[in-house]
Amino acid sequence: MPDRPRRTATTSEAWTDMTQAPSRYQMSQLDLLEAEALYIMREVAAEFERPVLLFSGGKDSIVMLRLAEKAFWPGPIPFPVMHVDTGHNFPEVMEFRDRRVAETGVRLIVASVQEQIDAGVVREPTGRWASRNRLQTSALLDALEHHRFDAAFGGARRDEEKARAKERIFSFRDEFGQWEPKAQRPELWNTFNTRVAQGENIRVFPLSNWTELDIWAYVRREELALPSIYFAHERSVFERDGILLADNPHVHRDDDETVFSTMVRYRTVGDMTCTGAVRSTATTLPDIVAEIAATRITERGQTRADDRSSEAAMEDRKREGYF
């Protein structure tokens, strides 16, 4: 007798499987991912002298901040957070960043791209494709060196982009802050090599094994607040090479690029000059989960113009010291 065709799980059923334990003796997928991330954070706090958590106000760093609260509760988070501010961020995200930092009581360090431009350290790009996104690398490396941070937590995940998929959970950077894929250290089971010489540092990615859908499931389970731009709203945009960019004074717009108003939301938050929106009517977390479960395009592939400049755009930036 032929096998009976298997029924595909509905979005609701998939959501239930992800967030709820199969029985009282087993952990759910989210429980396992959370436990791994907490272990990594505690390992870094124990092994490194001056760690810092990179915090942009985006969904991944919001989850990271929540994990840090859990990892060291009831004590305070034992390291500061740092935002690399291009000066061209979404206002809604900046307001959220300051509010969330005030709620947690954690110390905020801002590495300012504008200050580097004013000091002549980097040059402001001009023209149709001008963006300060790449200038973040210089501000980040200077801040890491200035504060002598030897480990920096990042919210990158392997499912975001192929260069990020290559990175270890503990990603070694040399004395110039550069990443060399062939020089990365092996990671066997949960054994991490934490040795660094003076000037070297480690980027640590506790969310490496999470997916975008895991992040949204965790946001819902933990009832985490988010910047409003993650939810569908009416916004003035224009289309460039298939990406919906917000009409704003920081973006050079050609005469033939027409501004129109439509319902959109953001899958990532970053510099306004290179971060695109997606058409959406998802105004609630269940709506967003259904939307993410149905899409076959990664968030960076769909919304980040800076990743389209070349086939290896992200890998090139990471070699220079990018996040």
d(CA 86, CA 277): 19
- Cis peptide bond prior to 22, omega within 30° of 0: no
Report for 16-25, 173-182, 301-310: range of highest mean pLDDT: 173-182
Strand stretches in the chain, DSSP E: 51-54, 81-85, 108-112, 151-153, 170-173, 201-204, 233-240, 243-246, 260-265, 278-279
Section 1-6 average pLDDT: 46
Q: What is the pLDDT of residue 13?
A: 55
d(CA 303, CA 294): 16
Read off φ and ψ for residue 186, nearest 5 degrees.
-65, 145
- Closest Cα partner for 305 from 238, 258, 209? 238
Q: Are 128 and 252 in contact (CB under 8 A)?
A: yes
Section 93-104 average pLDDT: 95
Half-sphere exposure of residue 199: CA atoms within 13 angstroms, side-chain side: 4
Section 170-193 average pLDDT: 86
Q: Show Cβ contacts of residue 11 under 8 Å, excluding neighbours closer than 6 positions.
A: 289, 290, 293, 294
Q: Are 122 and 138 in contact (CB under 8 A)?
A: yes
Please give the C-alpha separations between residue 183 and each of 141, 153, 166, in angstroms, as whole numbers.
19, 20, 12
Read off φ and ψ for residue 155, nearest 5 degrees.
-95, 20
Section 177-193 average pLDDT: 85
Helical residues (DSSP H) of 156-201, grouped into ranges: 162-165
Q: Over pLDDT 70: what percentage of the chain?
A: 88
Does the pLDDT at position 5 exceed 50?
A: no
Residues in the chain, overall count: 323
286/17: higher pLDDT: 286
Q: What is the pLDDT of residue 33?
A: 97
Does the pLDDT at position 102 exceed 90?
A: yes
Which amino acid appears at position 175 of this protein? E
d(CA 35, CA 95): 30
Section 112-133 average pLDDT: 89
Which value, to the nearest 10 degrees, does the dihedral of the CA atoms of residues 280, 282, 283, 285 take?
A: -140
Q: What is the pLDDT of residue 315?
A: 76
State both tokens at 157. 């995940």
Section 68-82 average pLDDT: 97
Section 91-115 average pLDDT: 95
Does the pLDDT at position 47 exceed 50?
A: yes
Q: What is the mean pLDDT of the chain?
A: 88
- At 100 the three-state DSSP class reads helix
Q: What is the pLDDT of residue 44?
A: 97
